[in-house]
Amino acid sequence: MTSETSGIPSPKVTLTDDQWREKLTPAEFAVLRQAGTEPAGVGEYTDTKTEGVYDCRACGAELFRSSEKFSSHCGWPSFFDPSHSDAVILRPDDSHGMRRVEVLCANCHSHLGHVFTGEGYPTPTDQRYCINSISLKLVPAE
């Protein structure tokens, strides 16, 4: 199923705002459901080196792996690729007077952050998925 207005597939997980508010903290709701941004440098995963999988904090879908995480020194966790090509949805974001590309969880359409290209980081994709820590839940490798 596809949303007629955006061409983006409909989310598999659909909850009302009230249901999301029951499931998420106010800070999580502000970022994940209202496209907010946590302050730079405060997120729990900004500098973590723990091996594992990063899931969507809202729905639990796998999004990123520690093997694609790198230190960008931008104040948020950075990844050069999602764990699977269909794990995230990219859509244009022209808010705040700038052109960016928003990253959404493909499973529940929660806001994760933005992806930037061509910044010169020495990564295989030349991309930086700049993701809010509060949008993620790290499941450490065993």
Residue positions annotated with a catalytic role: 130
Residue 40 CA to residue 132 CA, distance in Å, equals 9
Q: Which of 49, 35, 50, 55 is nearest to 113 (CA)?
A: 35
Read off the tokens for 76. Answer: 């948020």
- Tokens 């502000």, residue? 30
Instruction: Give the helix/strand (H/E) hosting 17.
Output: helix 17-23
Biggest CA-to-CA distance, the chain: 44
Running DSSP on this structure, what letter comes out for residue 85?
A: T
Angle at 100 between CA 99 and CA 106, to 5 degrees: 140
